[in-house]
């Protein structure tokens, strides 16, 4: 025996971790500010079990918040880029589709986004890199992949930055809190502005 968990045990650990994250996401979506005890009850596990997967409550909350949006978006990007697709989308139509998927997810998870922003804003910086949003950067790089080789590198990076600014929770909070838009209208405005930025850069 080498002490390593077998395949069955490893699969069980993945299922337990996923159940903890899913229970946390449900509580956050309902507007709760859950404690470890709340999450343990919702996931039907002990607090000790949660701490074997997550060192702190903030660690768990961040993981649940980010995971809530990323799964659907990444699946859509993969489906859009499937070489076996019957009708491959033109670059701008592809960009519009992916950004709209991101916008829908952002609107639906806005309470989670507010929580994430609060957690990261209140956390002292650990270094010079970004506190959050690396997934969003990767998504926007995927959106712009058809133009990577035709745009000047600095222009490409500026375009990624512009889309990241427009597409996330922060932009939605500006539109809902400062402009008073409902989430669907905020999504439409964000999409419209993002496409205008792309058109201006690639024309």
Tell me: the pLDDT tens digits for 124-134?
A: 655 555 556 67
Q: What is the pTM of this model?
A: 0.71
Q: What is the domain count for the chain? A: 2
With cut-offs at 50, 70 and 90, classify the pLDDT of residue 1: very low
84 and 40 inside one domain: no
Structure confidence by residue, pLDDT tens digits, 64-101: 877 766 777 888 888 887 766 666 679 999 999 999 99
Q: Which two tokens stand for residue 183?
A: 């989430």
5 and 98 inside one domain: no
CB proximity list for 10: less than 8 A, separation 6 or greater: none
* Residue 140, pLDDT score: 93
In a domain, 60, yes or no: no
75 and 154 inside one domain: yes
The highest-confidence range among 4-13, 95-104, 127-136, by mean pLDDT, is 95-104
pLDDT at 113 over 90: no
190 and 96 inside one domain: yes
Determine contact, residues 116/181, Cβ cutoff 8 Å. Answer: no
Helix (H) or strand (E) holding 70: helix 57-80
- What 3-state class would DSSP assign to 83? coil
42 and 108 inside one domain: no
133 and 39 inside one domain: no
Backbone angles phi, psi at 138, to 5 degrees: -60, -40
Determine contact, residues 163/99, Cβ cutoff 8 Å. Answer: yes
Rounded to the nearest 10°, the torsion over CA 89, 92, 98, 104 is -120
pLDDT at 106 over 60: yes
DSSP tag of 106: H
In a domain, 141, yes or no: yes
75 and 102 inside one domain: yes
9 and 76 inside one domain: no
In a domain, 61, yes or no: no
13 and 90 inside one domain: no
In a domain, 10, yes or no: yes
130 vs 13, higher pLDDT: 13
To which residue do tokens 């949003």 refer? 133
Q: What is the mean pLDDT of the chain?
A: 85
* Residue 120, pLDDT score: 72
In a domain, 59, yes or no: no
Domain that holds residue 122: 66-202
Structure confidence by residue, pLDDT tens digits, 18-72: 899 889 989 988 888 899 999 999 999 999 999 998 888 988 887 887 776 677 7
């Amino acid at each position: 025996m080498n002490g390593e968990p077998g395949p069955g045990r490893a699969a069980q650990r993945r299922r337990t971790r996923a159940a903890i994250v899913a229970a946390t996401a449900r509580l956050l979506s309902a507007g709760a500010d859950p404690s470890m005890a709340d999450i343990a009850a919702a996931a039907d596990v002990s607090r000790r079990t949660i701490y074997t997967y997550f060192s702190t409550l903030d660690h768990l909350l961040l993981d649940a918040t980010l995971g809530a949006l990323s799964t659907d978006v990444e699946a859509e990007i993969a489906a859009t880029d499937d070489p076996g697709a019957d009708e491959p989308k033109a670059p701008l139509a592809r960009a519009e589709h992916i950004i709209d998927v991101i916008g829908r997810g952002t609107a639906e998870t806005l309470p989670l986004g507010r929580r994430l922003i609060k957690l990261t804003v209140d956390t002292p910086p650990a270094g010079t890199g970004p506190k959050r949003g690396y997934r969003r950067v990767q998504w926007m790089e995927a959106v712009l992949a058809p133009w990577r080789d035709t745009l000047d590198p600095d222009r490409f990076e500026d375009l990624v930055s512009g889309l990241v600014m427009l597409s996330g929770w922060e932009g939605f909070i500006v539109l809902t809190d400062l402009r008073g838009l409902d989430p669907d209208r905020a999504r439409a405005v964000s999409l419209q502005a993002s496409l205008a930025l792309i058109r201006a850069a690639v024309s």
